[in-house]
Structure 1
Amino acid sequence: MPSTVVHCALAGLLAAGLLAAGLLADAFDARAVAIVFAVTIVPDLDASAGFLIPGGHRSVLHTLLLPLGIAALLYYDTRVRETSFVRRRWHARSARIAWVSVAAVAFAAIGLDLVGGGVNLFYPIHDQFYALSGELLFSNNRGLVQTFVELGGGEAEAARGSTEQVHINSGIDPTRGAEPENVERVFPVAQSGWQLLLIVTSVFVLAARLWERR
């Protein structure tokens, strides 16, 4: 499963990419990147939720209701209200950083975990873990093939069970219930070649962007 470092790596690339698109524009600097990183880490804090709510890891803060709710509030504050609280309380550029942070939570935090073991997408309204896996390819024999969504049974294929049935381990809470004293607690950094490549690429791109902005 993706580590917090991998989540931040994708969030960093997302922030750098949005800079090129002009969304962050002059708001891009080391402080803005740090804010995006901090917000991206927030969903992983539910790793300790399993002590209070069985199956709470990848549920409590990995629900899509979190970024959707924040995006709705942010839209109301910056687009509907006559005076934006976010802009007045912090700075004009804070709204742009906030939008990038919401995108980072949706794609870099929740999205990566959706393809890396699964998340409880609509918790607590709908208590069901989902995992996105499959392939998209073109074959000279079979034509266009996609197995991410099986038509007629896609939900059954993607569903993994409720919080009562699913426990996703972490270094904080390796197993459901009490652990033995000698239990191994693993805090991953990169668990595959593509994850390490993503981290290195993100460091390189962010360093280049920040050097350019100095």
Structure 2
Amino acid sequence: MPSTVVHLAIGGVVAAALLGVDFDRRTVAVVLAATAVPDLDTFVGLVVQGAHRALLHTLVLPALVGVALAYDTRGRDGSRLRDRWGDRGVRVAWVALVALIVGGILPDLMTNGVNAFYPLYDRFLTVDGELLLSNQRGIVQTFVDLSADPERTTANTHYWTGVDPTRGAEPETVERIFPIVRSGFQLLVVVLGGVTLGARFFEER
């Protein structure tokens, strides 16, 4: 599964690409903080079984935030966000929302899955597969698979972390592993995020 470092690397690329003239250390910090929000449900999972990859990894969360942002900034006269932080605050809020989705939730959805519509629909979903063009079979895709896998819900699914390696109490001798990168591709993503942010900061000097 992607570590928080990998999530932050993707959030960094989002920040570098979308903040435009508002790119600086403070706005990048806001975007990276939003990117890391979903992983906070790891700690909730210590108290509420099944909360990890459900409570804050749900796509319902950014949908609600997006509706609130759209209403405040476009759907009514005046904007509390714009009145307090100006157009800069509006841009940073929207970029942070994109980073929450693209950097915080989607990498986990594509790696082992998340409870994408929790609490409206309690099922863990995974977007994983391949898309091929074959000279014999034509277009082949395995992303949409309706085969009957066991239904994974918050009641029967646990994702290990260094904070919570197993469901329930662990022995004192349990090994706690905190991944940084778990594949060459993840290492590439981390390097890309670091280089991209570094280049943007260098340009803004």
Is the pair's TM-score, using the shorter chain for normalization, greater than 0.5?
yes
Aligned residue number for residue 185 of structure 2: 194
Structure-2 separation of matches of 1:204 and 1:186: 26
What is the Cα deviation at residue 53 of structure 1?
Answer: 1.6
**Correspondence for 2:94 among 91, 99, 107:** 99
Aligned residue number for residue 6 of structure 2: 6
What is the Cα deviation at residue 139 of structure 1?
Answer: 1.2
CA deviations over 1:144-170 (Å, ceiling 9, x no partner): 1110013xx26x45x751111100111
Structure-2 separation of matches of 1:58 and 1:89: 33
Letter in 1 for 2:144: V
The CA RMSD measured in Å over matched residues stands at 1.4
Asked if 1:65 corresponds to 2:53, the answer is no
Aligned residue number for residue 174 of structure 1: 165
Asked if 1:49 corresponds to 2:44, the answer is yes
TM-score scaled to structure 1, two decimals?
0.92
The SS at the match of 1:129 is coil
The SS at the match of 1:173 is coil
Structure-2 separation of matches of 1:54 and 1:121: 17
Letter in 1 for 2:56: L
Structure-2 separation of matches of 1:91 and 1:2: 35
The SS at the match of 1:137 is strand
What is the Cα deviation at residue 136 of structure 1?
Answer: 0.6
Aligned residue number for residue 128 of structure 1: 123
Aligned residue number for residue 21 of structure 1: none
Is the contact between residue 2 and residue 191 of structure 1 (CA under 8 Å) also seen in structure 2? yes
Asked if 1:110 corresponds to 2:105, the answer is yes
% identical aligned pairs: 51
Letter in 1 for 2:86: H
The SS at the match of 2:15 is helix
The SS at the match of 2:45 is helix
Letter in 2 for 1:13: V
TM-score scaled to structure 2, two decimals?
0.95
